[in-house]
Chains A and B, each alone.
Chain A
Amino acid sequence: MSGTPVLEVRDLCKRFPVGGKGPFADKSWLNVVNAVSFRLDKGETLALVGESGGGKTTLARAAAMLQPPTSGSVRFEGREITGLDNRSLKPLRRRIQMIFQDPYGSLNPRLPVGAIIAEPLLVHGLGDKAERRQKAIRLAEQVGLKAGDMSRYPHQFSGGQRQRIAIARAIALQPCLIIADEPVSALDVSIQGQVLNLLRDLRDSRGLTYLFISHDLAVVRHFADRVAVMYLGRIVETAAAETLFDAPRHPYTRALIAAQPVIGRGKRMAADCLPGDPPSPLDPPSGCPFHPRCPLAEARCRESKPELEGEGGHRAACHVVNGGGT
């Protein structure tokens, strides 16, 4: 925990107005991310996990200033970046790149692969045409594509190959932070492993830092150094990956791990699975947002919001497991 973190987020909130068209209509607010703080050191991989609607993607996009946060602070390599205008952000965008889930939607179908990979270089005015071409070929080779693929179009590639193209594009500007939003979720099982191995190799060879979003706990357990579990816009537990999976504390984390299907455990028993659905973020429950589904909930959980507490980097937001008086 020494040195300047690559990314430090403090009390980040992001809310969106909903309902009511026109300037005078009543609006309510959808609080997608609520007072989230974390830090990400160089070369580290932090995974955001949790179910859909938990705010993982919105948090990542706000931290990358793709959608500026409503409030809170984001420091990138020690420098506050909230409040910067697009022009001052442009040099930072070279340092933060994204990889998206859907390799079908994130590549321009009208551009050949060479142009897709070289586009970030063009946008940032790096090199002349021949240099960009050379660089694109080198990048393609690094991610396991062939130089001959450069003139082909995205539709001529499989999902796994397309994700390689997206990765080549993301590393073109030599970023230090990559935000990978469900990068292997859309891929077939036999391809998932290949792409995870590639991401890991690039991390080691280029010293990349990853903010890795996934709903797949097995992938996260394999890939991440640290994990933050999100529920309804908050981090409810964070710990080193092994600690989190070996000794989860928050009841939501425990339920997630228990619900994850495991190979070879045999046929499932009518399990005590988590009841209900996540509540609507438009009308979040009082107190601890997890209390309506929580098997441990007590009276105080309905009344006051638990803080993220704990020692040795393992922190959970739960009155019951954190103990203490009422």
Chain B
Amino acid sequence: MLEAIETSQDPTAAALEVRGLEVVFATDAGPLKAADKVSFAVPAGRTLGLVGESGCGKSISALAILGLVPPPGLIIGGQILFNGDDLASLPERRMEDIRGARVSMIFQEPMTALNPVFSIGSQVAEALRIHRRTSRPEAWKAAVEMLARVGIADADARAGDYPHQLSGGMRQRAMIAMALICRPEVLIADEPTTALDVTTQAQILDLMMAMQRDLGLAILFISHDLGVISEIADEVAVMYAGAIVERAPAGELFERPLHPYTQGLIETLPGTGPRLPRLPAIAGQVPDLGALPRGCRFSDRCPLADDECGASEPTLAAAGERRRVACWKAAP
């Protein structure tokens, strides 16, 4: 038991580790905690799926890793450990050497993330020119190779294309090429397939897994789609209203979710089983971060909630060897 904990939580094995991250937005209505003591680790060659509904803080947690929290947001606590450095307190000059080179990120909508006035080849090459000071022709050559590697047919010719000339799937491939050209150790992917059709989504997921095998990438994969997370993640962290409420290996999480919110999410999805006349639904709405219920943040929607849940907030506590859950009622 002890041994298992040591090996699974050995910080040296993690390519990226976030500990107790707290991000606050100062608003007229007072401070809003967008990320509340968020902790997770992504080992090299593995994928952590961060899943939750809109506004739960999954994107903010990812942006915080790269020091990109938009104002008026502020990291007020916690550590982001990468390669012995704490990215949360690293000066911007040093952060620039890491961002895009050793930790890179891809986004949901490649049309807005790519620059419309530069060819995709030059955008992929730019990363190399900035971070590795590669000469222009060499960077172009490397960019073309990378584009071919991410599955762009006839990359030599297509490298001169502009983003609007490509399909959504091809644009996402170009963005992946841009993110990987400097051979990063960590890739943060924020809803990378959400804007794509399902057959294109399958292609991009396969590509990401192949690149992970080749490069030993640690991937932080953010999505609202439990199906996608189930197919790509090794470990899953479920976020609700700013906090991680459950963390577990993917297989165990989907087979036996412990937190009532995770259970509700899985049950409410129309599945492949027999058709039900009605879908089991989670009651109510996701609460405003400014008006969280007292005690457990899920207590106002939870079917199991009682007085205890309204009185004090559960912490993310161990539930079995490799699982954690923040719930007073969850039976491990």
Contact = CB atoms under 8 A, between A and B. Distances in A.
A133 interface: no
B316 interface: no
B42 to A, nearest CB: 15
A261 interface: yes
Q: Looking at chain A, what size class is its interface with the partner chain?
A: 35 or more
A255 B199 contact: yes
Q: Is the interface of B mostly helix, strand, loop or mixed?
A: helix
A196 B279 CA distance: 8
Contacts of A158: 285-286
B231 A265 contact: yes
Interface string A178-202: 0000000000111111101100100
Nearest to A186: B54
A260 B278 CA distance: 22
Given A190-B281, A273-B202, A274-B202, A263 B268 contact: no
Given A160-B285, A190-B286, A193-B268, A259 B202 contact: yes
A94 to B, nearest CB: 29
A271 B226 contact: no
Interface string B215-235: 000000000111110111110
Interface stretch (B33-41, B66-74, B117-125, B205-213): B205-213
Nearest to A204: B277
Given A188-B54, A200-B277, A273-B206, A193 B282 contact: yes
A260 B227 contact: yes
A262 B231 contact: yes
Given A52-B197, A192-B268, A277 B230 contact: no
Interface of A: 51-52, 158-161, 188-194, 196-197, 200, 215, 217-219, 221-223, 241-242, 255-256, 258-268, 270-271, 273-275, 277-278
Interface of B: 53-54, 167, 169-170, 197-203, 205-206, 209-210, 224-228, 230-234, 250-251, 254-255, 264-266, 268-272, 275-282, 285-286
26 contacts: A51-B199, A190-B53, A192-B268, A193-B279, A193-B280, A194-B281, A197-B278, A197-B281, A215-B197, A223-B270, A256-B198, A258-B202, A259-B201, A259-B202, A261-B205, A262-B271, A263-B226, A263-B254, A263-B266, A266-B231, A266-B251, A267-B234, A268-B231, A268-B232, A271-B206, A277-B167
